[in-house]
Amino acid sequence: MSQFVQLADLAPATVSQERRIITAVPGPKSQALHKRRLAAVPLGIGSALPIYVERAHGAIVVDVDGNQFIDLGAGIGVTTIGHTNDAVVAAAAAQLHNVTHAMFTITPYEPYVRLAELLGEHTPGDFEKKTLLVNSGAEAVENAVKIARYFTGRTGVAVLDHAYHGRTNLTMAMTYKAMPYKTGFGPFAGEVHHAPNSYPYRDGLSGTVAARRTIDYLEKKVGVSDLACLVFEPIQGEGGFVVPADGYLPALQEWCNANGVIFVADEIQSGMARTGAWFASEHFGIVPDMVLSAKGIAGGLPLAGVTGRAEIMDTIHAGGLGGTFGGNPVSAVAALAVFEQIHSLGLLSIGKHIEQVLLPKLRDLQAKHEVIGDVRGIGAMCAIELVIPGTKDPNAAAVATVTAFAAQHGVILLSAGTMANVIRFLPSLAISDDLLLEALSVVDEALASLHAGDRND
């Protein structure tokens, strides 16, 4: 617990690190805002919880009605080092005054260069690397594919079942789940091939056998000589925090390396200290040719990076890469502060500590609630998969009930999974043990409410 004091102490008095529900959820002010929003914002932009946020710090989110929520979602793994981390806020505020925008392709600036150096040092692999900075995760994926195609002279892009890579045209093609991401939005970019993944709870395959299945698919159905890259998430995020079986990713890497296929780790959700390592690839002993980072990289500011082997990254002619806002100085400086905070606060070990608190508790809940079919995850990236008791049939209704119950009781809980039957736990590393355990006791009550109603199981 003492490990968390450093960060928890940074909380200003205005956001006490405690759960407090003082109105119905959503409260009257949130409801009024929601009405305005429905008139002004397209319906295609959903919101998991119609509670409107006013302030946030550390592991707590405060809504416009003054309710305080324990945040187990961190804006989908973005505020990994905590909401409004003081060092990030101070660095970004100072940079706003110095240079807000310069456009790196016109007049460059140091924070971009420093961040490229840091990403090169902190991504797996002891070789020369270069980093391109862009605005969003999807844009990082787009650029990785673009670079891999140029370097290899091949067009094919391989992805894995249950993957999520974004919402632009190419990344929609690379994403697995039709609803809500793809249905009606085609035609999609071509030459994208979806191969079977490793999903131990559902396929029961060893890493070697699952890798053989993936490779067979790519060799027989796609043809290696046309394949530029394999893009994969070391731990699948939106797909349901699927941790591949041991040996799966190393076997894929070996095959990619042997066949000239660029091995691209989409660490947009799993990277930047989320799993108790700088990048989740480290847990699996793989060294990707390119690593993509985004979500947690800049403490909440928009930024993404493509870090890759220098010889691959450098094949593209000047002007072939870039973008107006890519590597914006304010975002870049915020990211430098994130790196500094992860080092100075020892956040990698805190990520491991959170796993040690979270996984045993989730297993206790599994022993108690038959609806939990699987417990999995690494670091502060863990999940429970809900099923119809006695089967492995996905139970999306139970997930909806549990997340709604949690919100009513002051805990922000996110769902995931291509079958919408996974609850993911991705708290910020600023969360105290006490808050985490308190949130889990709410989850316990929420799961118990399923038996009480006896409607969802």
CB of 35 to ligand PLP, least distance (A): 27
- Residue 351, interface with ligand PLP (CB under 6 A)? no
Percent of the chain that is helix, strand, coil (3-state, to 5): 40, 20, 40
CB of 168 to ligand PLP, least distance (A): 7
> Tokens 């400086």 correspond to what residue?
333
Residue 131's SS3 state is: strand
CB of 73 to ligand PLP, least distance (A): 12
Torsion sign over Cα 158, 163, 165, 170: positive
Nearest to 66 by CA among 108, 23, 31, 100: 23
Helices 347-368 and 433-453: crossing angle, nearest 10°? 20
Which ranges of 153-273 does DSSP label H, i.e. alpha helix? 169-174, 200-203, 207-217, 248-259
- Residue 374, interface with ligand PLP (CB under 6 A)? no
Q: How far is CA 78 from CA 189, 335, 425, in A?
A: 28, 12, 13
Choose the stretch contacting ligand PLP; rule: CB under 6 A; options: 185-193, 199-207, 261-269, 437-445.
261-269
> Tokens 């009930």 correspond to what residue?
401
Subset of 204-233 contacting ligand PLP (CB under 6 A): 233
Residues binding ligand PLP: number (CB under 6 A): 15
CB of 201 to ligand PLP, least distance (A): 19
- Residue 57, interface with ligand PLP (CB under 6 A)? no
Q: Which two tokens stand for residue 287?
A: 């060294």
Indicate the residue among 166 and 200 with the shorter CB distance to ligand PLP: 166
Indicate the residue among 27 and 308 with the shorter CB distance to ligand PLP: 308
Indicate the residue among 8 and 243 with the shorter CB distance to ligand PLP: 243
CB of 172 to ligand PLP, least distance (A): 11
Indicate the residue among 194 and 295 with the shorter CB distance to ligand PLP: 295
DSSP H/E element including 397: helix 396-408
Indicate the residue among 109 and 232 with the shorter CB distance to ligand PLP: 232
In whole angstroms, what is the distance from residue 52 CA to residue 61 CA?
A: 10
Indicate the residue among 277 and 440 with the shorter CB distance to ligand PLP: 277
Q: Which two tokens stand for residue 337?
A: 């502060």
- Residue 328, interface with ligand PLP (CB under 6 A)? no
In whole angstroms, what is the distance from residue 232 CA to residue 167 CA?
A: 16
In whole angstroms, what is the distance from residue 121 CA to residue 282 CA?
A: 13
Give the CA diameter of the chain.
64
CB of 186 to ligand PLP, least distance (A): 19
In whole angstroms, what is the distance from residue 28 CA to residue 335 CA?
A: 36
- Residue 416, interface with ligand PLP (CB under 6 A)? no
Nearest to 317 by CA among 191, 134, 170, 146: 146
- Residue 164, interface with ligand PLP (CB under 6 A)? yes
| CB-side neighbour CA atoms (13 Å) of 4 | 23
In whole angstroms, what is the distance from residue 67 CA to residue 162 CA?
A: 35
- Residue 73, interface with ligand PLP (CB under 6 A)? no
- Residue 296, interface with ligand PLP (CB under 6 A)? no
String of contacts with ligand PLP for each residue 266-295, x by CB under 6 A:
x-xx------------------------xx
CB of 77 to ligand PLP, least distance (A): 7
- Residue 237, interface with ligand PLP (CB under 6 A)? yes
Indicate the residue among 116 and 381 with the shorter CB distance to ligand PLP: 381
Choose the stretch contacting ligand PLP; rule: CB under 6 A; options: 14-22, 50-58, 160-168, 180-188.
160-168
329 upstream amide cis, omega within 30 of 0: no
Subset of 99-158 contacting ligand PLP (CB under 6 A): 136-138, 141
Indicate the residue among 365 and 413 with the shorter CB distance to ligand PLP: 413
Binding site for ligand PLP (CB under 6 A): 136-138, 141, 164-166, 233, 237-238, 266, 268-269, 294-295
